[in-house]
A and B are shown apart, each in its own frame.
Chain A
């Protein structure tokens, strides 16, 4: 059944007798796959030109991201016995928490020239229509640090289940000072993010949330030795599927079409970073988030956060 879920999202719901949900998943997944196929075809048939990439890459990111999301949703929905097995309503999670603050540890052995861990802190606050976020950190002992700040606004609300569900426009500015590697970078990231708890469709899918992003990262890189600045314009975005297995355990996985972190992309730079992780709820509203990243190089992130 699992391969059917992943290859033809919606078949699991049809199998369970959820005809309406199954059909909706089938149609949506088909549309997403067609979009991704069109994007890939356009890229391939034009020799992957930069012009074609401006259209093809976003289609691939959204199309495949959405398709894989629906496959996972269908699989989880197929094997979920009953909505009663899980507390009703939307559980507090990273995507809908009102306030998050925490510390993070990032380890990416052999990331270019250093295997030292990065230490950072972050805070994020959300209201019904607005959000703000900031973070910063450093690689202790090295001339490397970053600081970032941004805000988001909800453009469209998805259902009445939670005010966090919707289409959000987010913008952030991040500056990396990487003196020991001879450069500093300022990145502006503008992202459209769809936050979709599947509980708005079916109680059985209430454990699953999809985060689908598409963004553009105009970046200015200043090379200290040359005194020269390069401009880069990568497409960012990706997807994340979050599964609240029980009320104290979240599993998630996804793909981030970005290559500028401690962990860079996969496969020559055409792909970004794949990730998977687990979140454990601790007493007093603390959460431990452990994440593995597949990229260049591989990396492991740990976050301890307080979530309200």
Chain B
């Protein structure tokens, strides 16, 4: 018994440390360096997909981002920065001589090899070793975005969903509410990226439990699991509930993001529902105490909308007085008896108020 109890405790600790490992890995995703340069994005809204001496490939998880490049090799003059997943028409700006001669914003050069990609040649002006580049985000105002989760084993059939999503011409982006894959295998990740290449709008994702089967596969492709960004004056916050609980490091960040969102419309999206409609099946956070604490904080901070996946159905309800929606309609083993089938949400933020509509894919 003396040996068994510590071993038992150690095993438990190993099991619960998974989300913390992901949270700590997040911090590294906005950084990279080579002998010639160093890249930093403190918000982590750009994560590094590839880095070489004179090229850098990034994937964006927002249209409102900035980064710095620091020259560490004096002979280096230009770094070719390729960025995926850009909001169509998005431009980047920097000081004169960095992206353009006069400092005017540029959409970059199209990069067909990347989904919604563009290439920006970042030049270090004479005597300047640190340059800052930022996006010119779309102006605040009314806008529409789409949301769905739970594709999993239905990646092969995602084409029909993508076509339906593409019919939403006015939408700015798609929020992926987790479970993009079934087992986070390399092949599945390749397939889902190929499927997303059909989409005409950028994809901002949060991981699901099925995206956490391998240690860092999801993060290498889709970036941070916890992050917060602004879009047209509204705040969006992704919380990594892929393990049914928030990591301690994530809990440290939650109050900061909630404070930042008090003066704005704020949408919090996470894969596993904080609490379910009834909770008979228990498809929600592992600890009801933790879930209620989170719901209480969301409510106190004036969060306007909660979006979840995980349950392969559609539900509209309230959590701590906040409108909450489950939209697990990406195609994974649909729930019987609900009569919903594949679906996604069309969310229009009008006058700072989110309005949510259900869109069925197969009608």
Contact = CB atoms under 8 A, between A and B. Distances in A.
A57 B281 contact: yes
Interface in A37-85: 43, 45-54, 56-57
Interface in B246-302: 248, 251, 272, 275-290, 292-293, 295-297, 299-300
B308 to A, nearest CB: 12
Nearest to A58: B280
Contacts of A57: 280-282
Contact of B9 (A51, A269, A295, A298): A298
A298 B12 contact: yes
A233 B279 contact: yes
B299 to A, nearest CB: 4
B278 A113 contact: no
Interface range, B side = 35 or more
Name B's interface SS. loop
Contacts, number: 178
B334 interface: yes
B244 A269 contact: yes
Given A49-B337, A265-B286, A298-B16, A226 B321 contact: yes
Nearest to A176: B289
Interface in A164-210: 178, 181-183, 185
Contact of B337 (A46, A262, A294): A46
Which of B1, B290, B292 has the most chain A CB within a 10 Å cutoff? B292
Interface stretch (A23-31, A98-106, A217-225): A217-225
Interface in B300-320: 300, 310-313, 318-320
Nearest to A234: B279
A1 interface: no
A268 B320 contact: no
Nearest to B277: A50
Interface in A252-280: 259-271, 276, 278
Interface residues of A, number: 56
B209 A47 contact: no
Interface string A92-125: 0000000000000000001111000000000000
Contacts of B312: 47-48
Contacts of B278: 50, 231-233
A48 B318 contact: no
A283 interface: no
Contact of A262 (B245, B289, B297, B318): B289
A259 B282 contact: yes
B290 A296 contact: yes
A284 interface: no
A264 B248 contact: no
Given A53-B280, A183-B293, A292 B5 contact: yes
B289 A264 contact: yes
Given A232-B288, A278-B1, A298-B12, A51 B337 contact: yes
B322 interface: yes
Contact of B289 (A45, A230, A260, A294): A260
A223 B9 CA distance: 33
A225 B336 CA distance: 36
A155 to B, nearest CB: 24
Contact of B290 (A112, A228, A298): A112
Interface of B: 1, 5, 8-9, 12-13, 16, 209, 243-245, 248, 251, 272, 275-290, 292-293, 295-297, 299-300, 310-313, 318-322, 333-338
28 contacts: A43-B281, A47-B336, A49-B336, A50-B276, A50-B280, A53-B280, A111-B287, A182-B293, A182-B299, A185-B292, A221-B275, A221-B292, A226-B320, A228-B299, A228-B320, A228-B321, A232-B288, A259-B282, A259-B286, A259-B288, A260-B288, A269-B284, A276-B8, A292-B8, A292-B9, A296-B287, A297-B16, A297-B287
